[in-house]
Amino acid sequence: MSLYRLLQQRLSLLADSDIFDALSASKIGLEKESLRVCPEGSISQTQHPVAWGSALTHPQITTDFSEALTELVTPPCNSVAEVIQSLDDIQTFVYRHLDNEILWATSMPCVVAGETGIPLARYGSSNAAQMKTAYRRGLGLRYGRAMQVIAGVHFNYSFSDAFWLRYQQLIHHADNIQTDNLQSNNLQAFVSDQYMGLIRNLLRYGWLVPYLFGASPAVCKSFLNGKRTILQSFNDNTYYQTYATSLRLGDIGYQNNKEDLAGIKACYDSLDAYIKSMQCAISTPYKGYEEIGVKVDGEYQQLNSNILQIENEYYSSVRPKQIVQGDEKPSTALKNRGIAYVELRSLDVNAFDPHGINSEQLYFLEVFMLFCLLQSSPVLSQSEIDAIDENLLLVAHQGREPGLDLQRASLQSPDSRQPGSQQAGLQASIRVSANQSVLNQSIEKISLQDWAAELCHKMTGVARLLDRANHSENYFSSVKSQIASVYDPDLTPSARMLAEMREHDEGFYHHAQRMSKHHNQYYKNHLLSADKVKFFENMTSESLAQQSRIESEDKISFDEYLENYFNESNS
């Protein structure tokens, strides 16, 4: 059976169904990080502006690691146009209250004046706020603060409940399966199983994202602060690599470097396996972190000395997500209510667009999500996991290099099942259960261009399906644009950035500063309607009031609060 036969079967199944309204009801959300800086590019030392509201409780304007690392969060939106408009509105309001500062237009920071020049995010005096700051202090001590102020864009995606219900019915009907005799008759179990398959494919093909959309081929020398590097000098203030796409995802970017040493890594075989691997990591001590200390001279240096303080510390290009309730931890939310959406975290901030991402990227990513759902997704062998990690690193540093080879797992036909299997035919291919055997695999070399072209061409059918569901031509057009970038790497954002730097005879710092000021002017000339201004002002007031309520309602010490949190985590 062809590797893509299942994809074609599923596309035909959906094309002949009444699923289009449900398919067009998917939700898209964005989280965009932007470093708040002084006009010359140095990291801001001022507090999160009060006019933006409380970073602890505001649903759309908060901070990440640093007080200066702004995070803008859209609500789940019904379309690409709606989510871009939402991000535009949030940023327009934010820019109204920036005073003499600007938001940095690129993922990689500049003018990094050492670790002490990066202020930790502060969220108030409540126990929840103290936990956030202590966690960030621990991140800084474990990995260095400079790495934590690298910015990115997270793409959140979910299929509608109506889609999942109809999709399950279509699959079962195609194989004449009685749904009441299947464990997957539990819709949420089915949904989580399908999302985990989607996630495994996002990992397999995830190198495609930095190749197509990577926008950090260069970095300010101040970021490395004199450390030895394999990077080349572009000029006096810039390091780069000739064919790099996303140094943010490379050796100098955010990495967990202790999990491998301790033998713990996230497992994506099933949702249950993923939860257990995360729980293991947050409960297993690590000697190196024990040497830092937890509470030193009355101040928490980190939440604990385990491999991970909390699940959020684990860096991955993709995460299964469920909305947490109160002080619930992410793995508990997933265990109780299953996967609600998928978070793709490998996007660089696009310096060529004031939003930090554009519609064409989003249309392609939506196609990519559906492609990864419909495509066969066996569990990952160790050899394939190693290949996935190596591919991502290789593309980050050398993705546009002519003739670059990647490693791909060669899968046996899904028809070739273990003897005695109760599954057969289309059902064996469609339902990849958590406990199935890994298909026989060998790792083969394939050129990046050949593999990327193969994937993108296969996505055209998915794009046409989405265009039909949404009465548009945007999805097919976006895939065509990315196919052009596959055959001509000079069209990619990383190549364009280096070309502009050469054209303007500027290093990365001056390029990023120029783009940042351009975006600043764009938003300064932008106007919000009176209703939208009032909407954001009300959200600001409510978030500040909510923070005050949380602080006034605290009745226990921070020590007790942490003990209760981790006791719940281990229950």
Per-residue model confidence as pLDDT tens for the chain (571 residues)? 466 888 999 999 999 999 999 999 999 999 999 999 998 889 999 999 999 999 999 999 999 999 999 999 999 999 999 999 999 999 999 999 998 999 999 999 998 877 888 999 999 999 999 999 999 999 999 999 999 999 999 999 999 999 999 999 998 877 654 444 444 458 999 999 999 999 999 999 999 999 999 999 999 999 988 888 999 999 999 999 999 999 999 988 666 555 555 556 899 999 999 999 999 999 999 999 999 999 999 999 999 999 999 999 998 999 999 999 988 999 999 999 999 999 999 999 999 999 999 999 999 999 999 999 999 999 999 999 999 999 999 999 999 999 999 999 985 444 333 333 323 222 222 233 333 344 456 899 999 999 999 999 999 999 999 999 999 999 999 999 999 999 999 999 999 999 999 999 999 999 999 999 999 999 999 899 999 999 999 999 999 999 999 999 999 999 999 999 998 755 4
Alpha carbon dihedral 528, 529, 534, 539, in 10-degree steps, equals: -50
The predicted pLDDT at position 99 comes to 86
H or E, element range at 501: helix 493-503
Which ranges in 343-381 belong to alpha helices (H)? Answer: 359-374
| 401 token code pair | 């290099």
Spatial separation of the C-alpha atoms in residues 122 and 35, rounded to whole Å? 15
Q: Using CA atoms, how far apart are residues 473 and 470, in angstroms rounded to an integer?
A: 9
Print the domain residue range for 556. Answer: 5-208+259-471+508-570
In a domain, 369, yes or no: yes
Environment class of residue 2 by beta-carbon count within 10 Å: exposed (0-12), middle (13-18) or buried (19+)?
A: exposed
CATH code where residue 290 lies: 3.30.590.20
Q: What are phi and psi of 108, to 5 degrees?
A: -85, 135
Residues 6+ apart with CB under 8 A from 324: 330, 332, 333
Question: What pLDDT does 428 receive?
Answer: 28
Strand spans (E) along 297-432: 299-300, 318-321, 341-347, 405-411
Give Cα 64 to chain centroid, integer Å: 14
Q: What pLDDT is recorded for position 188?
A: 93
- Burial class, 202, CB count within 10 angstroms (exposed 0-12 / middle 13-18 / buried 19+): buried
Q: Decide if 228 is inside a domain.
A: no
Would you say residue 47 lies in a domain? yes
Give 319's DSSP letter: E
CA 222, chain centre distance (Å): 26
> 47: how many CB neighbours lie within 10 A of its CB?
12
In a domain, 112, yes or no: yes
Round to whole Å and give the CA distance between 515 and 496.
Answer: 13
Asked whether the beta carbons of 175 and 169 are under 8 A apart, the reply is no
- Residue 243 included in any domain: no
* Count of domains for the chain: 1
Give dist(CA 253, CA 53) in Å, integer. Answer: 30
- Give domain status of residue 322, yes or no: yes
Tokens of 77: 């939106």
Q: Is 479 part of any domain?
A: no
- pLDDT recorded at residue 437: 41
Q: Is residue 115 within 8 Å of residue 144, measured between CB atoms?
A: yes
User: In angstroms, what CA-CA distances link 126 with 457, 548, 568?
Assistant: 52, 9, 19
- What values do phi and psi take at 31, rounded to 5? -125, 115
Q: Looking at 38-89, which runs of residues are DSSP E strands?
A: 61-63, 69-73
Tell me, yes or no, whether 458 lies in a domain: yes
Cβ neighbours around 285 below 10 Å, total: 12
Residues in the chain: 571
| CA gap 345, 360 in Å, rounded | 17
Please name the amino acid found at residue 507: G
Q: Would you state the pLDDT for residue 4?
A: 81
Q: How many Cα atoms are found within 13 Å in the side-chain-facing hemisphere of 105?
A: 25
